[in-house]
Amino acid sequence: MKNSIISLLLLARRHRVATVLLFLLVFPFLMPYDALSVNILIFGLYAVGFNLLFGYTGMLSFGHAAFLGVGGYLAGIAVVHGGWPWWAAIVTGVAASCLAGVVIGYLAIRTRGIYFSMVTLALAQIMYYVFYKAEDWTGGENGLRGVRVESIKLPGLSIDFINPLNKYYVILVFVALALWFVSRILNSPFGAVIEAIRENEKRAAACGYDVARAKLLVFVLSAGICGLAGALRALHLSIVPIDSLHYLQSGQAVMMCLLGGMGTFFGPFVGAAVFMYLEDVVTNLTRYWMGAVGMVFMVFVLFFPKGIWGTLVHQMERWLRRQGDRA
């Protein structure tokens, strides 16, 4: 019995993308209502993108809302002002957030450590004010409205995009692609480079790696994934709220990642699920959601820095190692 559990765990670890996707396939049936599942899926993707930078490379950015927001706004603008089809909107959103990643990344990477956190927050606020002011394009304070995609038209097939469950599975396709891509990156030689940078930047440079360039690349990749989440969110909500760009939205990515488990593959989804589910429950009980989540976050920072999934994985790895030593 124990041996089959061990084999199962090892199999799951080796095929992490498949394991996560299997879970995500059945996830809507575990949640009270489908719209919540869609939100968790989208914000899980947002957290995955952020985790690539924070959990795996060790760079704490407080400006990732810029990419969620730019992805959302540019996708929305493509639909509302350009009349473009849904897939072109998504591509536009991702491309725009990658570009924003290059610009913000280039400036921010001139700084390191906690200084970097400050700088990313401030640079992302530029995006907030720019999009706030550009009312004709973005709707200003009220957000960009009318991002209506009523059906996903594929050759020979038309999917009703109003039904939340349909939305979930369409979005899941993109999430699956993104997860596959992230997994490849982490397993690749470049993944080894960013690991090394996280562990010891100076050492990585002494080995001959151009740390600034590697950081910029992973920054842009991270921005692109968050941009994808933003674009999908725009299509899901049919509006892009101005708060998508505010640094509190960046803080949300940080919180979800830490809660779930940074530097783990599945942690960001766990974090997003816990965060959104909690928000749903708590806001029905009290108006002081911000205070509640702040307290929960502080508890995790102090006592459970590995996060829910991270702690579980850590314990599982230890158990597996002991079994391995015994065998």
CA distances from 215 to 122, 123, 224 (A): 19, 17, 14
Closer residue to other proteins (CB): 65 or 273? 65
Phi, psi of 265 (to 5 degrees): -75, -40
Is 195 an interacting residue with respect to other proteins (CB under 8 A)?
yes
Is 209 an interacting residue with respect to other proteins (CB under 8 A)?
yes
Among 15, 81, 133, 318, binds other proteins (CB under 8 A): 133
Query: Which residue type is seen at 115?
Result: Y
Among 81, 110, 148, 318, binds other proteins (CB under 8 A): 110
- Alpha-carbon gap, residue 4 to 86, rounded angstroms: 45
Is 196 an interacting residue with respect to other proteins (CB under 8 A)?
yes
Among 29, 136, 189, 284, binds other proteins (CB under 8 A): 189
Is 301 an interacting residue with respect to other proteins (CB under 8 A)?
yes
Is 208 an interacting residue with respect to other proteins (CB under 8 A)?
yes
Is 282 an interacting residue with respect to other proteins (CB under 8 A)?
no
Residues in the chain: 327
Instruction: Indicate the angle between helix axes 2-14 and 16-26, nearest 10 degrees.
Output: 100
Is 188 an interacting residue with respect to other proteins (CB under 8 A)?
yes
Nearest residue to 28 via CA among 255, 226, 273: 273
What's the closest the beta carbon of residue 50 comes to other proteins, in angstroms? 13
Inter-residue contact 287 to 245 (CB < 8 Å): no
The site for other proteins, by CB under 8 A, has a size of 65
Block residue for tokens 């960013």: 194
- Alpha-carbon gap, residue 179 to 188, rounded angstroms: 14
Inter-residue contact 143 to 239 (CB < 8 Å): yes
Is 79 an interacting residue with respect to other proteins (CB under 8 A)?
no
Is 150 an interacting residue with respect to other proteins (CB under 8 A)?
no
What's the closest the beta carbon of residue 300 comes to other proteins, in angstroms? 8
Is 304 an interacting residue with respect to other proteins (CB under 8 A)?
no
Among 117, 138, 222, 238, binds other proteins (CB under 8 A): 117
Is 321 an interacting residue with respect to other proteins (CB under 8 A)?
no
Q: Could you tell me which stretch among 38-46, 154-162, 235-243, 295-303 binds other proteins (CB under 8 A)?
A: 295-303
Phi, psi of 205 (to 5 degrees): -65, -40
